[in-house]
Amino acid sequence: MTIKQIRAFLAVAHSLSFAVACERLHLSQSALSLTIKALEEGLGGRLFSRNTRNVALTPEGESLLPLARRLIADWDNAEDEMRQRFSLQRGRVTLAAMPSFAGNLLPPILKTFRARYPNVNVTVNDVINEQVLEMVRDRQVELGVAFAPMQSTSMNFTPLYVDRFVAVVPADSALAERSDIDWQTLLQEPFITLQRPSTVRVMLEEHLQARGMKLPVEFESHQLATVGRMVASGLGVSAVPALCAGQMCELGAHCLTLNDSVERAIGVLTEPGNELSAAAQALFDILQQENLSERLFP
């Protein structure tokens, strides 16, 4: 059975008139008769009993009628849903992002997205940088926002902006009175950072190693929020991406410009060969349109 045949069957069954059905379907009498004949031959028997004056459903035609109505309703609903998805009148997009990005720069971007596409739902997975890569690679999400991969990867990376690290010091320390600081001065204080294999930790160690210095870690944690609270309480100092500066200040620490800072691109990760849904593409476009660098470094 084809959709054309089912629609022809319903038109005749509802009107019990080939002439009326022809008008509704904008078909000639011969075209409609051939369509019904092909349907009957395909199913193996007559659906209508007809003579020069009357058209009536056979028992088999009566049995097909409710099934045909349901088939057409399901077909029309499927067409309508797909049109709505492609026109972004409905849909869902899944995203994985580093907590620092998800909690700072992402909310205003999602506000813009929701204003344009109010009926598209967004699922945000705020996970550490390494998990963002895994979720994109395993196709658990369509988009990922993370640092540029440190190792070669098959994933596509579209940079959004270049983040650079800032120094984090206790708000009541003498260091907080400075406008900037160098590594030699900062590393004289007890240093607090994330545990391995955090990307932030690896970037710090590689940056200092290239300059003949070593990261003297005295306190370490799994969460940047804990690092911020440790610094705020006077346990030591740290260095974090500028993306996290607002969070550090909210926790009671103070941020300084870090001379010869660590710099790393932050961007969108996608899986090659995995075409984005219309909703994911729309969010991707908004991410690219936003001038995120100005928000961090006005």
- Looking at domain 161-263, its CATH architecture is 3-Layer(aba) Sandwich (3.40)
Q: Read off the pLDDT of residues 30-66 as tens digits, 9 standing for 90 and up.
A: 999 999 999 999 999 999 998 777 899 999 999 999 9
Q: Say what the pLDDT of residue 88 is.
A: 74
| Secondary structure (DSSP) of 30-69 | HHHHHHHHHHHHHHTS-SEEE-SS-EEE-HHHHHHHHHHH
The answer to whether 258 touches 184, Cβ cutoff 8 Å, is no
Q: What is the DSSP letter of 241?
A: E
Q: Say what the pLDDT of residue 212 is.
A: 93
The answer to whether 160 touches 287, Cβ cutoff 8 Å, is yes
Q: Say what the pLDDT of residue 273 is.
A: 82
The answer to whether 168 touches 253, Cβ cutoff 8 Å, is yes
Mean pLDDT of the chain: 90
The answer to whether 104 touches 246, Cβ cutoff 8 Å, is yes
| 90 vs 69: which has the higher pLDDT | 69
Query: Domain 91-154+275-290 maps to which CATH number in 3.40.50.2300, 3.40.190.10, 2.160.20.10, 3.30.470.20?
Result: 3.40.190.10
Is residue 274 pLDDT above 90, yes or no? Answer: no
Query: pLDDT category, 171, cuts 50, 70, 90?
Result: very high
Task: List the one residue out of 113, 131, 130 whose CA is nearest residue 122.
Answer: 113
Q: Say what the pLDDT of residue 196 is.
A: 84
Alpha-carbon span 295 to 244, nearest angstrom: 12
Q: Read off the pLDDT of residues 233-260 as tens digits, 9 standing for 90 and up.
A: 999 999 999 888 888 999 999 999 999 9
User: Do 3-87 and 161-263 agree at the fold level?
Assistant: no
For domain 3-87, the CATH class is mainly alpha
Cα dihedral angle (35, 36, 41, 47), rounded to 10 degrees?
170
Q: What is the domain partition of the chain in residue ranges?
A: 3-87, 91-154+275-290, 161-263
The answer to whether 166 touches 255, Cβ cutoff 8 Å, is yes
Q: Say what the pLDDT of residue 48 is.
A: 93
Alpha-carbon span 24 to 69, nearest angstrom: 16
Question: Residue 280: what residue type?
Answer: A
Mean pLDDT of 197-211: 90
Q: Say what the pLDDT of residue 246 is.
A: 86
Alpha-carbon span 221 to 196, nearest angstrom: 9
Q: Say what the pLDDT of residue 71 is.
A: 92
Query: pLDDT category, 154, cuts 50, 70, 90?
Result: confident
Q: What is the DSSP letter of 187?
A: T
Q: DSSP H helical segments within the chain, as ranges?
A: 3-15, 18-25, 29-43, 59-86, 99-104, 106-116, 129-137, 183-186, 199-209, 224-232, 245-250, 278-289, 292-296
The answer to whether 19 touches 33, Cβ cutoff 8 Å, is no
Q: Read off the pLDDT of residues 139-151 as tens digits, 9 standing for 90 and up.
A: 899 999 999 987 7
